[in-house]
Amino acid sequence: MSTENLSDVTTGTSTTKAGSDSTDDKAGTDNVGYADSRDTTEGRVYTVSGGDWDDVIADAAHDERMVINMGPQHPSTHGVLRLVLEMEGETVTQLRSVIGYLHTGIEKNCEYRTWTQGVTFVTRMDYLAPLSTEMAYCLGVEKLLQIEAPRRAQLLRVMLLEINRIGSHLVYIATGGMELGATTAMTLGFREREEVLHLLEHLTGLRMNHAFIRPGGLAQDMPADYREKVTEFVKTMKERLPLYDKLFTGQPIWRNRLKGVGYLPVDACLALGVTGPVLRSAGLPWDLRKTEPYSCYDEFDFDVPVDNGADCWSRYLIRVHEMHESLKIIEQCLEKLEPGPVMVEDKKIAWPAQLSIGSDGMGNSLEHVKKIMGQSMESLIHHFKLVTEGFKVPPGQVFASVESPRGELGVHLVSDGGTRPVRVHVRDPSFVNLQSMPAMAEGGLVADVIAAIASIDPVMGGVDR
């Protein structure tokens, strides 16, 4: 922040910060409530504290209300989310979400890496649906490059995304149930999620943070027995998913705990930009896989679950139904898949090169090393430069979005024609959906705040980035 703009920025309170004088000599102004500054080797840094939190506490001091912190280390806040609650008895009169405890600077880090290396950063945002973020990022890069991944790569992407979607929804049931006292939900949800993670590890090499979807296609093709493994997974999930209906959908305690809680009608969803299962629970069938299809989704036969309850109960029903629909998509992927490349043919973009693994399962085989070294100096130099410098992307900007398990996930990319992005910004659905917490919780009981958070299913890695 430049010093000339400092006079335009206040912390929103007329009181001085604790431990500071009535004048702020460092900021160069006699007005109170401004940010302190200090000079570092990287320039001047401003520390903004307090904001209007002091006003909140002062407002609660003269009546029967009290202000409490839920989080950031709380078992029911889906990670390091802090909720500042103003309470009157057990009724929530005001709620504020405080974020930033998991900030990792992923977007800024991407601007100092090649376009391909950016995948390894964005996959760590929404760590319950890493493949969705990889997909959105790579679709944006491919739009700038004006290329399209081979058909086999597109179908495999869809298959992996739907497997990942099932795993994400299972964590919603497991953690949401545990937070509301249904410990059996946690046991069963994580048991089924292990099936998802075992399968993804077999297909991509990693349980999470795969970096498997790359600009131009996939890092590598599927293992030889992928059809058997995926078919076995679908069979197992079809046998186990009905158990959740028996345990929860028909359970009067579970139903009464969620029905009418966290109410958010469709007009409020649209005003706040809420998407995903929360929006569909309010009656609007907005799913980018149907409304704005990408990567062959328009070829698949599946339904978009919708309900009009607009409460936690409807969001639960929708996510359970979505898992069944994902299984249908996975089966159709297996039917459509045919042999073919999984990366574009352009050798100036395709990375990594077609590698051969050594007999120990690691590194490159001696035959492959001999082949690279023996072809030509030019090909070796090209391979080295592609890996270290990366490929150039034409100048321009683009926005690409996918339907993640939590809603519309978009990526805005800006290129100046170089091997690194100028700007990477992600529209994470958890970040936007958290805006709805006050509307869901204010006027309700503090116990219902837990159910409302669980129904949003936020991932703080995506919120803070």
Same domain, 178 and 316: yes
Residue 119 inside a domain? The answer is yes
Mean pLDDT of the chain: 82
Indicate whether 140 and 36 sit together in one domain.
Answer: no
* Amino acid identity at 267: D
Q: Is residue 425 in a domain?
A: yes
> What is the share, in percent, of the chain residues with pLDDT greater than 90?
28
Q: How far apart are CA 232 and CA 238, in angstroms?
A: 10
Nearest to 86 by CA among 458, 456, 450, 438: 438
Same domain, 293 and 193: yes
pLDDT at res. 442: 85
Same domain (yes/no): 124, 46:
no
**Looking at residue 79, what is its pLDDT?**
76
In a domain, 195, yes or no: yes
Model confidence at 213: pLDDT above 60: yes
The answer on 270 and 135 residing in a single domain is yes
10 Å Cβ neighbour count for 418? Answer: 14
Helices (H), 129-225: 130-145, 151-179, 183-204
Pair 415, 331 in one domain:
yes
Please tell me the predicted confidence (pLDDT) of residue 4: 41
Alpha carbon distances (Å) from 94 to 13, 21, 126, 181, 436: 18, 31, 28, 25, 13
Q: Which amino acid makes up residue 441?
A: A
My answer on whether 147 and 44 are in the same domain is no
Alpha carbon distances (Å) from 23 to 7, 172, 257, 426: 14, 49, 52, 39
pLDDT for residue 39 is more than 90: no
As a whole number, mean pLDDT of residues 96-103 equals 86
Q: In whole angstroms, what is the distance from residue 87 CA to residue 98 CA?
A: 17
> What pLDDT digit, counting tens, does each position of 362-402 carry?
556 666 666 666 666 676 777 777 888 888 889 999 999 99
Cα–Cα distance, 172 to 183 (Å, whole number): 13
Give pLDDT, residue 18: 40
Asked, for residue 98, whether it belongs to a domain, the answer is: no
Domain total for the chain? 2
Q: Is residue 80 part of a domain?
A: no
pLDDT at residue 137, as a whole number: 93
pTM: 0.81
Q: Is the pLDDT of residue 78 over 80?
A: no
Tens of pLDDT, residues 318-375: 999 999 999 999 999 999 988 888 888 877 788 765 555 555 555 566 666 666 666 6
The reported pLDDT for the residue numbered 13 is 38
Residue range 159-212, pLDDT digits in tens: 999 999 999 999 999 988 888 887 888 888 889 999 999 999 988 888 888 888
CA–CA distances in Å: residue 341 to residues 150, 152, 154, 338:
6, 7, 11, 10
CA dist 375 and 116 (Å) reads: 25
Rounded to whole angstroms, what are the CA distances from 129 to 132, 197, 414, 429, 434? 6, 11, 24, 12, 17
Q: What is the mean pLDDT of residues 92-108?
A: 87
- C-alpha to C-alpha distance for 286 and 318, rounded to whole angstroms: 13
Write down the pLDDT at residue 373.
Answer: 65
The angle formed by the CA atoms of residues 86, 89 and 94, to the nearest 5 degrees, is 20
Q: What is the pLDDT of residue 57?
A: 56
Token pair in block for residue 227: 């059809």
Element (H, E) at 235: helix 226-244
The pLDDT assigned to 155 comes to 93
Predicted confidence (pLDDT) per residue in 245-264, tens digit: 888 888 888 888 888 888 98
d(CA 463, CA 465): 6
Residue 313: CATH number of its domain: 1.10.645.10
Identity (one letter) of the amino acid at 243? L
Query: What sections of 297-445 are H helices per DSSP?
Result: 312-336, 366-375, 377-388, 429-433, 437-441
Q: Check if the beta carbon of residue 81 is closer than 8 Å to that of residue 71.
A: yes
- Number of helices and strands in the chain (H, E): 18, 10
Whether 27 and 168 share a structural domain: no
Give the other-Cβ count within 10 Å of 40's Cβ.
Answer: 8
Q: How many angstroms separate the CA atoms of 305 and 281, rounded?
A: 8
97-113 mean pLDDT: 88
Residue 233 predicted with pLDDT over 50:
yes
Please give the pLDDT value at position 49. Answer: 58
Domain shared by 182 and 262, yes or no: yes
In this structure, the answer to whether residues 264 and 331 fall within a common structural domain is: yes
> Looking at the structure, do residues 115 and 237 belong to the same domain, yes or no?
yes
- Which has the higher per-residue pLDDT, 138 or 465? 138
387 domain residue, yes or no: no
- Kindly state the tokens that stand for 280: 């569909």
In a domain, residue 378? The reply is no
Instruction: Tell me the C-alpha distance between 394 and 382, whole Å.
Output: 19
> Does residue 76 fall inside a structural domain?
no
Domain region containing 144: 106-345+392-464
Q: What is the pLDDT of residue 364?
A: 61
Q: What is the mean pLDDT of residues 397-423?
A: 91
At 23, is the pLDDT very low, low, confident or very high (cuts 50, 70, 90)?
A: very low
43 shares its domain with 150: no
How much is the pLDDT for 200? 92
Give tens-digit pLDDT for 140-153. 999 999 988 999 99
Handedness of CA 464, 413, 286, 173 (dihedral sign): negative
User: What mean pLDDT is predicted for residues 8-36?
Assistant: 44
**Which of these three, 11, 32, 51, is where a domain ends?**
51
